[in-house]
Amino acid sequence: MITVFGSINLDLVVAVPRLPTAGETVSGRDHQTFSGGKGANQALAARRAGAEVRMVGAVGRDSFADPALENLRAAGVDLSGVRALEGSTGLALIGIDRQGENQIIVASGTNARVEAGWLDGVLGAGETLVMQGEVPYGELSGAAERARRAEASVFWNPAPVPAGDIAACLEASATLVVNESEAAVIAVGLGIAAADPEAFAERLAGAGRAVVVTLGAGGVLARSGNARYRFAAPKIEAVDTTGAGDAFCGALAAALDRKVPFERALKEGVAAGALACTVTGAQSSAPRKEDIDRFADRVV
């Protein structure tokens, strides 16, 4: 069982010929609305990858709440841990260029008011707690401590990287997933001289902790104990990269939760991330388990 403790947003997406620079306006023909938020994205991705998933988070009492939860509800994610608070549902404003690259501005809304205490009595031994970085760090560290007490495994994707000392969540994480930029930020914060992804993974991986660094089109590298892994990204025609990282995390977490060997779990994550780039939308792009399984066989 996977419990996702994280953000829930509604995404407003505009396709543009190129991403704007500071102070510049770039026009797109139309806009689309998608359910989003890194927490919700990873919850849906894990569910589509075959896991039983519950979501713990918050939405506002506004017109954005229902569409933000629509995909999770339809997929059968347990929403009993989602609370409706006074205020606004989180909102993301996303521009996507012709190469599928994006720029994102997020209004946190009720995501800034989630509480680790909502996890009390929720987590069980052998289960997985999945977290990101779009809710307050103090609540993330509290959630990680509750997972430790419940003997649940912590899967942390610190995106974005919280400000300040993040040692508590790093130490609690059984699986840490970052991209190259996040790895560099964490390395600086920890005083690690070498921000090279290989060196970063080697430095932070330890007994009981795997470290994964996603490299975009360059694939993924990872360290688990003394074992090293490196897989290339499958060749695809990218349409929208918005949900790729979340699809990777959801599929990887789902595979690890069902005790798949780490190497195979990584391949399933890579496959899911690549497939997500071929469809527009952070949640609509999350692939199904049968497609992940088939594509993972091609990851080398």
> pLDDT (tens digit, 9 = 90+) per residue, 113-147?
999 999 999 999 999 999 999 999 999 999 999 99
Q: Does the predicted TM-score (pTM) go above 0.85?
A: yes
Per the CB < 8 A criterion, the answer to whether 165 and 190 are in contact is no
Residue ranges per structural domain of the chain: 2-296
Helix residue ranges per DSSP H, 105-210: 137-150, 167-172, 180-190, 197-204
Residue 27 has pLDDT above 90, yes or no: no
Kindly state the average pLDDT of the residues 199-221: 91
Catalytic residue among 11, 78, 240, 246: 246
Query: If you average pLDDT over every residue of the chain, what do you get?
Result: 92
Catalytic residue flag (residue 66): no
User: What pLDDT score does 126 carry?
Assistant: 96
Distance (Å, rounded) from C-alpha 2 to C-alpha 99?
33
CATH (residue range 2-296): 3.40.1190.20
Question: 56, 260 in Cβ contact below 8 A?
Answer: no
